[in-house]
Structure 1
Amino acid sequence: MKDRVMVVDDEPITRLDIKEMLEERGYNLVGEAKNGEEAIEKAKHLAPNLIIMDIKMPILDGVKASSIIKKQSDCAILLLTAYSDQELTIKAKKAGVTGYLVKPVKERELIPAVEIALSQRKKELELFRKIALLEEKIEHRKKIEKAKGILMKVEGYSEEEAYRKLQKKSMETHVSMVKIAEQVIGKVNK
């Protein structure tokens, strides 16, 4: 099964056309909405990977809805517009939109845009995952450095000796160095 997609447009015929094009390609259409406000609510519950959304809609337009959805979700958003201008491009970029298509939407334009948007989303998620791992490693390193500093101050070890002490304790107890560092820090903070 392909990615989860939601279609948002105030025109039922446009929603139906887009749904049919996507379903023919095997996409999982998880929902649809007729305005930006409804899109925000449904995006929370349906968790689509991609939202294809019109810009000009009643109640809340697609750009404002996109901005709110992007703060709550990691989905990609493709905007649909009847016009293409510089101001729209700037607003769309600020809202975190992945791309946009000019109406009327044709399958030969829609499917590549959908594929690219979903590919960009996957790359973005992978970058966020890598950033989180790096941040975790930095926090671990800070704890190890702090524990080394404590051992140097309290026990009079050199920096290398303090590191070796942490490393040896980790190997002997089969506990990660960061856990050993946390134990050393915890003893000082008591």
Structure 2
Amino acid sequence: MSASIVVVDDDPIIRLDIREMLEEEGYHVAGEAKNGEEAVELVANLKPDLVIMDVKMPKMNGIKATQIIRRLQERDTSILLLTAYSQKELVQEAREAGVSAYLVKPVSEEDLIPAVEIALSQREKMASLKKDLEALKRSIDDRKLVEKAKGTLMKELALSEDEAYCKLREVSMAERIQMPQLAQRILSDGVKPWFSQKKNA
């Protein structure tokens, strides 16, 4: 499946040129906008992989639109800014806004396509990193649940730490429930539904 791209520029000729360059390379242009306000709305509705956006536009410029997209958006979209200006201040402002790549006009196919590939590659790396971080957070949260449930068992059944952990593992295997889910149920329902006997009883 080809990447989904939104093209934003107040000049319809430039939009058409960029669209043609992208489509020749097999990319899918999901939509076009002529200013930053339309860009924000399109991105919210279409959730594209990449936005190619001019900086200087009426109503709302590309940097302001980038800032809003970054604030409002749940799904990460790469943003490639196009501009006729190459001042250092603008580059810094674009970077701080969360732009993935930056091209100075006029844009040729030789410049555009590699920049698109880099921006999309960065998006994939960020998505992968985000996924890894979420998995790590889930793992830490799961560990905390198991530790809390283990502490509850130690207190209510007068067990040592090792014994409490073994009990949790035994019930988890017997009931075919993952340890974090079992821990959650113990913390919400109490120990009795799962452990009727006290240590040495």
TM-score, normalised to structure 2, is 0.91
Offset at residue 164 of structure 1 (A): 0.6
Which residue of structure 1 aligns with residue 38 of structure 2? 38
Take 2:180 and 2:131, find their aligned partners in 1: how far apart are those partners? 21
SS in 2 for 1:5: strand
SS at match of 1:15: helix
Q: Distance in 1 between matches of 2:189 and 2:66?
A: 49
Describe how 1:39-78 pairs up with structure 2 within 5 A: 39-71=39-71, 72=73, 73-78=75-80
The offset of 1:27, in angstroms, is 0.4
Would you identify which runs of 4 or more consecutive aligned residues in structure 1 move more than 2 Å?
Answer: none
Structure with the higher fraction of residues in helix conformation: 1
* Partner of residue 82, structure 2: 80
Q: In the TM superposition, what whole-angstrom CA distance separates every residue of 1:53-107 from its partner, at most 9, and x where no partner exists?
A: 0000000000000111122141100000111122112211221110110000011
2:96 aligns with one of 78, 94, 103: 94
**Residue 157 in 1 paired to residue 156 in 2?**
no
Tell which deviates more after alignment, 102-111 or 152-161.
152-161
Instruction: Please list every run of 5 or more consecutive structure 2 residues that lacks an aligned counterpart in the other structure.
Output: 192-201
Identity across matched positions, percent: 54
Deviation at residue 28 of structure 1 after TM alignment: 0.3
Matched, 1:143 2:145: yes
- 1:187 positional shift: 3.2
Amino acid at match of 2:110: R
Identify the residue that residue 180 of structure 1 maps to in structure 2: 182
The structure having more radius of gyration, on CA atoms, is 2
What is the match of residue 125 of structure 1? 127
Alignment-mate amino acid for residue 173 of structure 2: M
Give the letter aligned to residue 17 of structure 1.
D
Query: What's the secondary structure of 1:129's corresponding residue?
Result: helix
**Among residues 100, 104, 107, which one is paired with 2:106 in the alignment?**
104
Deviation at 1:188, TM superposition (A): 4.0
CA-CA distance at 1:46 after TM superposition: 1.4
The two structures, once aligned, show a CA RMSD in angstroms of 1.4
SS of 2:85's equivalent in the other structure is coil
Provide the secondary structure at the position in 2 that maps to 1:74. Answer: coil
Task: Name stretches of at least 5 consecutive residues in structure 1 with no aligned partner.
Answer: none
Aligned length: 190
Q: What is the aligned partner in structure 2 of residue 171 from structure 1?
A: 173
**2:197 counterpart residue number:** none
CA drift at 1:184:
1.7
Q: Secondary structure at the match of 1:83?
A: coil
Higher alpha-carbon deviation: 134-143 or 54-63: 134-143
